[in-house]
Structures are given as structure tokens and as C-alpha cells.
Chains A and B, each alone.
Chain A
Amino acid sequence: MQTDSSPDVQVDPVAPESSWSRLVDLVRAGDPAGLEELYAVFAKGVRFFLWRQIGPQDLDDKVHDAFLIITQSIQRGDLREPERLMGYVRTIVRRQVAAHIQTAVRARRCNRPIEQLLTLSDRRLDPERSFIARESHEVAMAVLNGLPQRDREVLVRFYLREQTADEICSELGLTETQFRLIKSRAKARYGKLGQRRIARRAMLPAA
């Protein structure tokens, strides 16, 4: 079974609204080129969305199911405004996610007491992503430890969701601009430290 552990990085062409109508007409007419184009434009995005929401299990089947539903809906004439094709695809994919979640929850309720309900998908990290997660954690620790106490407190409260941005600003006497600056500096520092690590590793001799 093919698993998709990471989203694609290629830049897809972004079609303007006028071409959505053209594409919808082709799909309605059952034109194979239209079906192929629909898949080419949306497949990676649909796969990304489904992977984030319900995990890697049976991902190919889920993407295929999504396209079947989208295509059949368009051919039935359910899409009243062809220029809203993106919104329509999004709606169908979200419904698919909701249906999957409902089915999974129902299945677990039948088999286990409710206290044993587990997460809906196995999102355990593969070795590469585990490594990235560990490295990222170390870089984040270095970022926080390198900050003055006030800035550190701002970020800890925000990223632990202890308080909203407004509450943090009010309690610590910050303007919104100062708050955003603290966050953006931390993010920039994170990026810099992360790049340094990668560069250092690239210089090490192979094991």
C-alpha cells in the first residue's frame, strides 16, 4: 500500500476562474481530457487535505473516491456555479472527511467502551519525520532558551494556548506590534538555527 507521508513540493499552475467553467463543461460532457485535467489540478491538493485530516491509511483509495464523487456530482449538474469549482471540491472533500470520522467513531463505539476511543488515524511518524521532529524540537528549545525572560514568557503562553494574544498583550503590557515582533523574531531565529544545523551536518563526513 502506498503511503503518502509528505505533501508534494512542485508548484502547480493556478487556473483563473474563467477556465473553471471551461473545465466543468468538459467534465460534464464526459471528456477524458477534462477528467484528466481535473485530476491534474486538484489531486495533490485533495491528497494533502485528506492526509492532514484522516492520515495516510488508504489514502490513494480516499483520493480516488473523492474524485469519483466530484466527477459524478458535476456530471449530474449539482455544481450550479462552475466558477466556484474550488469551493465545491473543498466542500465535497470536507464531507468525505466528516463521513470517514463518523464511520470510524461508530465502529469503535461498537467494539470498545467509550473510554478507549483512540485517535482516528495512526499518525505515528516514520523514521525521517521522527528525526525532523527531534531536530525541530531542539532548535525550538534553543530559540526559547536564547530569549529574554519576557519574550520567552510571551511565546510560552501563546504556543501553549494559555492565553490569547490580546490577553498576553494586556497582562504583559505589550502592543500588538511588539507581540508580532517577538513572534516573528522567534520564527526567524528558528529558521536560522535550523539552517545552521543542516549546514553543519552537510560538512560532517559520512558515517
Chain B
Amino acid sequence: MDTEEAERYLLGDSPDPEAAELEEHLLICAECRERISETEVYLSSMRDAAEEVRAHPGDTDWRLAHRFSGVAAGAAIAGFGLIASRYDQNYQTPVEVRLVDSTSVTAPAGRGLDLRFDRGGARLEIVNAAAQTAWRGALAAGNRAVVPRQRSGTYLVRVLSASGELRHEYRLEIR
């Protein structure tokens, strides 16, 4: 029994003859019983996670941050650059990276990134290939954000509304 069969059976999508054959087999095969149990846990987890995604499309912790104005964020970006350049002799100006919908973009690793988006939003989330949040922050006026240097890898860059709804998503390769 493969995973697809197990999933079909547990979701009630198996035709009756297939379900009957499977149940007869489960009476005598411990390996397939284990497969059913694992698949059941998987389905239950995915269902609960999907419910949570439906109910809360964005991270609720961020919703407070929409109060930061674009102007303040822009000033902070400029200030960061100034302070960093004065005190960090190894400071390098962030690399400008233009992100355009449905196009994968490459950026250099080990450098700050001045991300410019073709469309607007309020917040930004960058997620790495391990589904960990690499960076979060506000989007400044002019649809841009300066993010710290990131490791090499593939990232999803998500632009969210003030309420946390996903507006746009971009693919970013850092090498």
C-alpha cells in the first residue's frame, strides 16, 4: 500500500472494492497498519495547519507594526546606513535588488540588500528554504526595504498588507 492509497482510504475517497481489499489486507499486515497510522497523523496535522492558515493568513504579531509610517521607516533606513558607515569600516552599501512578480531574482550573499518592489504593501517577510523566517520588517515609502545580509540559499519574499494578508510573493536566490 502506498501513501496515496492510504490517504485516499483515510479521506473516504477509495471506491468500495478498493477500501474492502485494503481493510482485509490491514487485518494481517503490520507494516501497512503502521503506514495508515502515520498517514492519519499527517492528514490530521495538515488539516489543522490548513485551518490555521485559512483563519490567519498573516502573523498576528506583526499587526501592531503597521503603525510605523513609511516615512519613519525610510528615515530609519537612511540612518542605519549612515551610522553603519561611520562605525563599521567593513560596511558596504546595500546592494539594490529589484523584485518583479513571477521572476526569480539573484542577489549576492554576505551583503545587505536594498529590496525594491514593483508593487506595494506594508510589511515584509523573508522565509528560507527550511521554512524559517529569516527577516521581518516594515516596507518603507517607495516600496523598498533594506535587509541585513543573508546566507546563500533560496528565499521567498512576501509582501503583506497592514492586516497581515499576503499581497505578493517573490523568489530570491542568494549566492
Contact = CB atoms under 8 A, between A and B. Distances in A.
Interface residues of A, number: 47
Contacts of A139: 45
Contacts of A160: 47, 50-51, 54
A98 interface: no
Interface of B: 3-4, 11, 20, 23-31, 33-34, 37, 41-54, 127, 129-132, 156, 166, 169, 171
6 nearest CB pairs, A to B = A146-B131, A45-B27, A140-B49, A140-B45, A136-B45, A86-B24
B46 A7 contact: no
Contacts of B171: 148
Contacts of B43: 159
B169 A148 contact: yes
B36 to A, nearest CB: 8
B20 A136 contact: no
B33 A8 contact: yes
Interface string A70-106: 0000000000000000110110010000000000000
Interface stretch (A10-18, A26-34, A54-62, A112-120): A10-18
A89 B49 contact: no
A144 B37 contact: no
A9 B27 CA distance: 13
A12 B28 contact: yes
A156 B50 CA distance: 5
A94 B127 CA distance: 48
Question: What is the predominant secondary structure among interface residues of chain B facing chain A?
Answer: helix
B28 A41 contact: yes
Given A139-B45, A144-B46, 17 more contacts: A11-B29, A48-B26, A48-B33, A89-B24, A132-B41, A136-B41, A136-B42, A136-B44, A137-B48, A140-B48, A140-B49, A146-B130, A156-B54, A186-B46, A187-B3, A187-B42, A190-B46
Contact of A156 (B23, B30, B53): B53
B50 A49 contact: no
B38 to A, nearest CB: 9
Nearest to B12: A161
Nearest to A6: B37
Interface of A: 6-12, 14-15, 41-42, 44-46, 48-49, 86-87, 89-90, 93, 132-133, 136-137, 139-146, 148-149, 152, 155-156, 159-161, 180, 184, 186-187, 190, 193
B33 A143 contact: no
B24 A146 contact: no
B173 to A, nearest CB: 14
Contacts of B130: 142, 146, 193
A155 B42 CA distance: 13
A11 B30 contact: yes
Contact of B52 (A86, A87, A141): A141
A142 B48 CA distance: 12
11 contacts: A7-B37, A9-B30, A45-B33, A89-B27, A136-B42, A140-B46, A142-B131, A146-B129, A149-B166, A159-B43, A160-B50
B27 A46 contact: yes
Contacts of A184: 3
A141 B30 contact: no
A193 B131 contact: yes
A10 B30 contact: yes
Given A142-B131, A144-B53, A156-B53, A133 B44 contact: yes
Nearest to A146: B131
